Structure 1
């Protein structure tokens, strides 16, 4: 499927055609800095054509009303992704720097299987609901509620989990009957372009239903957000960029879904198995080099056992290390780019200047090539420090002591974000009680996994607006129409 891309580059998908582009840019292996090959570098004119194609497909084709076709196309896409799984797994490791073990879960296999869940949901969903007869103002009326697709969806996605986030938007948006213009991050254009090729060559998806526009110019996302032909913008990325997306969408008052940043807390209660909890926090905190919005990056431990917790966590992080992502034993690979590596180093210098100490890490890996940061545990800071409050998006944990359950909850909630969290404790009911008090969209208790197709995902406060996945995520892509008929 990727034959020739190293020379010719990956194409755009516009109006059902794979479109080559004279302007191109290189996609890089973050582990080695090797150039994988060029990708199409779209210009505003390409985006304009893509939006026009999506508008026509929604307004003039039967896609929005043909449930059978939509379900068939989703299942065809899932089957095509499975057929090309080995090739796409390798691509994800090389382009995103994702540890190979993650491609058997959230980086590939799980989001691919999730497409089947959205296909089944579309088949069983209550598209029309009878509200029965009533006589408001003395007028007998039969009332019905209809759920209908929003229209054209502009989907803007990041680089950290390219397949998961691309498919988490495409799956429900298409199942609901919308058409889509996907603008992926410039760091992972091939993952998105491969999806486009499969849609064209191995599914019955009509022209214009899905359009994929890759490019380095971040202004493309702003243009997509502001375009009046777009009815909904679904964005995953930083909180700062999310604000710009919301501002751009405000002019036309279009619907906006935002899944934004996080600085999630991992709370260890004083009755927890400290060794197990801190080792697990170390593992989850540096998975995929910490490049996940829902990854717990603040570790809150009982003050009386702080030093012991530091020793356990630092030892685990150092043992795991930063390693070759193609090795199935690797947990922490490279960060995505030189820019991201430099940004993380800036936070490490800031943490040292704020009085923090590094129990392990605190620097680049000693490799000659690639974008590497050693797993880092920072101690000695308060929850008011920038390193404890701002999203670093790297393999960096900040450990903070707490003085009991109330103090742990206070520290966890003392954040502009509210995306995720974790609680570990010996008494399950006590741990659940703490979890219920956290102002976050998801919480793991004693290692529970919340990520699944049927579980809504999203945040409180500055972590976003709306929900992705689950029935709630599907309904983000629907409008509600009430019809009353006189009788």
Structure 2
């Protein structure tokens, strides 16, 4: 068994050291690694949401689509530069063959570049509502987006929700499972390398008890994207009528 610390990335800062332990298993050799996770999930989620709200209100992110396009392109470049590392960590974490892990890692940059291009085609709708009266409808970001990531294919599933959220101008809070702690740390490290990304626009935490995910879903002003098991979807369904939640259930529980 090897040990390490899984830090969170909140408000442009590494948060740690760990105060509780989680276990990250390498399926192929059966090796276990204990990763400390700083604070409980609810505490980290609350700090991340506060940072995202500050960034949404105080930075140019929601108003400057050129900044968003530039940042998404840079994010794609940085992820592309780390394809080898992502492949290795995904293979060790999931027990997949390296070519399958590489397929996931290589799918990320193109998705980011696609939404970077969409940012520049942002448009509204104008019409003459009545003689001499013009109506102009524009799309505006809502605020903070919550993203709950599953254990399976964590990187590409994260980007499929994060890329459109960032393109739209929202700030984001990402909750990732403790089973993929090493993957999470690498992804958060990639975010830290993106120079054009304003502090607090993307925040991520690792948790083991699901309290952070429940906090995000319960927050009335934080629309959420949840991809996980049917059991997890059922646990969240009480909150669905209260706010916007996108759920993609279906992971097999063993």
TM-score exceeds 0.5: yes
Q: Which residue of 2 aligns with 1:70?
A: 68
- Return the alpha-carbon distance in structure 2 between the equivalents of residues 49 and 88 of structure 1: 27
Match of 1:14 among 10, 15, 40: 10
Which has the bigger relative contact order, CA under 8 A and spacing at least 6? 2
- Return the alpha-carbon distance in structure 1 between the equivalents of residues 138 and 236 of structure 2: 29
Partner SS, residue 181 of structure 1: strand
Cα shift readout 1:215-239 (whole Å, capped 9, x = no counterpart):
1111221111102342x01000123
Q: Which residue of 1 aligns with 2:229?
A: 238
The structure where helix makes up a greater share of residues is: 2
Q: Which residue of 1 aligns with 2:134?
A: 142
- Return the alpha-carbon distance in structure 2 between the equivalents of residues 32 and 123 of structure 1: 47
**Within-5 A mapping of 1:443-482:** none
* Structure 1: runs of 5+ lacking an equivalent: 1-5, 262-291, 294-339, 344-487
Q: Report deviation, 1:241.
A: 1.8
Cα shift readout 1:269-309 (whole Å, capped 9, x = no counterpart):
xxxxxxxxxxxxxxxxxxxxxxx68xxxxxxxxxxxxxxxx
Larger radius of gyration: 1
Cα shift readout 1:407-450 (whole Å, capped 9, x = no counterpart):
xxxxxxxxxxxxxxxxxxxxxxxxxxxxxxxxxxxxxxxxxxxx
Pairing 1:86–2:84 present: yes
Partner SS, residue 193 of structure 2: helix
Q: Which residue of 1 aligns with 2:43?
A: 45
Query: Do the aligned residues in 2 keep the contact of 1:233 with 1:249 (CA within 8 Å)?
Result: no
Cα shift readout 1:386-411 (whole Å, capped 9, x = no counterpart):
xxxxxxxxxxxxxxxxxxxxxxxxxx
Q: Report deviation, 1:8.
A: 4.1
Q: Report deviation, 1:62.
A: 1.5
Pairing 1:258–2:247 present: yes
Query: Do the aligned residues in 1 keep the contact of 2:71 with 2:194 (CA within 8 Å)?
Result: no
Pairing 1:125–2:122 present: yes
Partner SS, residue 52 of structure 1: helix
Q: Report deviation, 1:30.
A: 1.7
Query: Do the aligned residues in 1 keep the contact of 2:230 with 2:249 (CA within 8 Å)?
Result: yes
Q: Report deviation, 1:47.
A: 1.7
Q: Which residue of 2 aligns with 1:248?
A: 239
Query: Do the aligned residues in 1 keep the contact of 2:4 with 2:33 (CA within 8 Å)?
Result: no
Q: Report deviation, 1:145.
A: 1.7
Query: Do the aligned residues in 1 keep the contact of 2:65 with 2:120 (CA within 8 Å)?
Result: yes
- Return the alpha-carbon distance in structure 2 between the equivalents of residues 225 and 243 of structure 1: 13
Q: Report deviation, 1:36.
A: 3.9
**Within-5 A mapping of 1:329-408:** 343=254
Q: Report deviation, 1:58.
A: 1.1
Moved beyond 6 Å, runs of 4+? none
Pairing 1:114–2:111 present: yes
Partner SS, residue 9 of structure 1: strand
Query: Do the aligned residues in 1 keep the contact of 2:84 with 2:102 (CA within 8 Å)?
Result: no
State the Cα RMSD in Å: 2.0
Q: Which residue of 2 aligns with 1:61?
A: 59
The structure where strand makes up a greater share of residues is: 2
Query: Do the aligned residues in 1 keep the contact of 2:24 with 2:181 (CA within 8 Å)?
Result: yes
**Within-5 A mapping of 1:431-450:** none
Partner SS, residue 225 of structure 2: strand
Higher mean C-alpha displacement, 19-28 vs 107-116: 19-28
Q: Which residue of 2 aligns with 1:220?
A: 212
Kindly tell me: are residues 37 and 90 of structure 1, through their superposed partners in 2, closer, same or farther at Cα, counting changes over 3 Å?
farther
Q: Which residue of 2 aligns with 1:406?
A: none
- Return the alpha-carbon distance in structure 1 between the equivalents of residues 243 and 56 of structure 2: 16
Cα shift readout 1:298-333 (whole Å, capped 9, x = no counterpart):
xxxxxxxxxxxxxxxxxxxxxxxxxxxxxxxxxxxx
Match of 1:175 among 167, 172, 179: 167
- TM-score, normalised via structure 2 length: 0.91
Query: Do the aligned residues in 2 keep the contact of 1:93 with 1:100 (CA within 8 Å)?
Result: yes
Pairing 1:206–2:206 present: no
- Return the alpha-carbon distance in structure 1 between the equivalents of residues 35 and 56 of structure 2: 31
